Amino acid sequence: MYLVHLTFLHPHRERFPDYVREMVECAAESGDGLEHVSVHRRVDTDPTIGLFLRSRSLADAEHTAARIWHRTTGTHPELDEYQLFRCEVPLIDGILP
């Protein structure tokens, strides 16, 4: 399982609509391996969505996350102003001794 962060730019630094998690879940297809969606709502960072995906590889998980987002915006034009800036598994610093 991989956690992929989708990070966005928005011209007005708008936060996501309250129901964006449900929008993303509905756009996922059965073969995508989506397990969970987490919306980061901090006001001091760019809008970010975390997708937990069952996948064969890190690259496949990142590509799947991007496809899910593009499907989401295809059915929800109100999200068009959120430009996908990064789609990657976050690196975690300091976990090894």
Indicate whether 79 belongs to any domain: yes
47 inside domain: yes
Residue 48 lies in a domain: yes
Please check whether residue 66 lies inside any domain of the structure. yes
Domain annotation covers residue 93? no
97 within some domain: no
pLDDT of 95 strictly over 70 = no
The DSSP annotation for the chain comes to -EEEEEEEE-TT-PPPPTTHHHHHHHH--GGG-EEEEEEE--TTS--EEEEEE--SSHHHHHHHHHHHHHHHHHH-GGGTT-EEEEEEPPP-TT---
pLDDT average, residue stretch 38-67: 91
**What average pLDDT does range 23-36 have in this prediction?**
97
Domain range enclosing 62: 2-88
The CATH number covering residue 67 comes to 3.30.70
Tell me: pLDDT of 30 over 70.
Answer: yes
Domain membership of residue 21 (yes or no) is yes
CB 15 within 8 A of CB 61: no
Residue 45 pLDDT: 73
- Whether 94 shows a pLDDT value over 80: the answer reads no
Residue 4: is its pLDDT beyond 90? yes
- Reported as a pLDDT band with limits 50, 70 and 90, residue 97 is low
Q: Is the pLDDT of residue 42 over 80?
A: no
Q: How many structural domains compose the chain?
A: 1
